[in-house]
Structure 1
């Protein structure tokens, strides 16, 4: 992409992402190895509220919640009765969807647009990390249909591909503030990680 094309694609992506304040959807995820063999399938629900509110609940195959209020990030593994607490700044390597709940400036400080594919009412943006050594992902593709985010595909450093499909999407539906807060239940082990 030329610099002008990159700037235009970036502006278009920012326009799509800034069009909503809240987002919630069901997700299905399939992770494939570099030969295309399915390694794992998972499903659950995602909630986002700008700036910084994010909740990713996995129901299958394990019960896990990733949650942040924009300051502290929690990973709660219900099956293991363990919660990990860390600064939100450590979020990028964990789940690239978390980036979409933050500021667009933060997103663009980590990724650059490497390509755009348009097909009827669907548009996909391929993002690559600006500093690849700091990311677990070599690329992320975000797909929008009728201006609504419906899919994401990531490729990690092991060339494994994760394909996320979002359904029953609701945009700008009010979300309770407590959706993005977390207090560990009694008898849950808490591990606290500091920023690196």
Structure 2
């Protein structure tokens, strides 16, 4: 039972940071760095589907998942994992709610404390990107242009994030390398930029009877 809970929680923690990473799509402009900067200025809402693959330090697949996401800047999002476990992550602008249906458990964190100098800060436009991250264009692979972001501080949970953009400037893929040697790859599809989203998507009330854990 303990191993099962640890497995679920580890996946939940990875999901949280990847959620913050994937709240973003980009705008058409030449170059990965230009696409990122334009996104920070112009994108307010996004709706998309995603596939997530987690690789160990030997680049072997240890987990696959996927689902849907919506977000509204700043700080509001809804991230739904449909597999391998049913999970819901909601940001209401002040707090982040993590609901694991299998465990019947909700974890709540303050948004500002949870984000910090994180991948969300890289893209959400609430801070000076160059002040918090070293950004490097690392060239093209096939039809994908890649940008690498490394946090200037060592307090986070990841070593680097890479963002892959299409020639038109759309966000195609993300890669996150964490401090435990794992790499998580996200690929996006059916992406809509600036759709009209209901405010109800970003509200969450814990179901009756679930355990609620808060900061």
The runs of 5 or more residues in structure 1 that have no matched partner are: 1-7
Give the superposition deviation at 1:21.
1.3
| Alpha-carbon distance between aligned partners in 1 of 2:70 and 2:57, rounded to the nearest angstrom | 30
The runs of 5 or more residues in structure 2 that have no matched partner are: 1-30
2:175 aligned with 1:175: no
| Alpha-carbon distance between aligned partners in 2 of 1:82 and 1:31, rounded to the nearest angstrom | 23
> Is the 1:27–1:43 contact (alpha carbons within 8 Å) kept by the matching residues of 2?
yes
The structure that is strand-richer by fraction is 1
Question: Which residue does the alignment assign to 2:83?
Answer: 60
**Residue among 70, 82, 86 paired with 2:93:** 70
Q: Secondary structure at the match of 1:62?
A: coil
Q: Secondary structure at the match of 1:18?
A: helix
Give the superposition deviation at 1:171.
0.9
Question: Which residue does the alignment assign to 2:160?
Answer: 139
> Is the 2:36–2:123 contact (alpha carbons within 8 Å) kept by the matching residues of 1?
no
TM-score normalized by the length of structure 2: 0.76
Question: Which residue does the alignment assign to 1:117?
Answer: 139
**Residue among 10, 14, 18 paired with 2:41:** 18
Question: Which residue does the alignment assign to 1:157?
Answer: 179
Runs of 4+ in 1 over 4 A off after TM superposition: 8-12, 98-101, 106-109
Question: Which residue does the alignment assign to 1:51?
Answer: 74
Q: Secondary structure at the match of 1:178?
A: helix
2:52 aligned with 1:29: yes
Q: Per-residue displacement from partner, 1:89-136 (whole Å, max 9, x unpaired)?
A: 23348x84x44673352655542213342468642211011112x111
Q: Secondary structure at the match of 1:150?
A: strand
Decide which moves more: 13-22 or 43-52: 13-22
Question: Which residue does the alignment assign to 2:14?
Answer: none
1:106 and 1:46, CA in 2 relative to 1: closer, same or farther beyond 3 A? farther
Give the superposition deviation at 1:36.
1.1
> Is the 1:54–1:101 contact (alpha carbons within 8 Å) kept by the matching residues of 2?
no
Give the superposed CA RMSD: 2.4
> Is the 1:92–1:135 contact (alpha carbons within 8 Å) kept by the matching residues of 2?
no
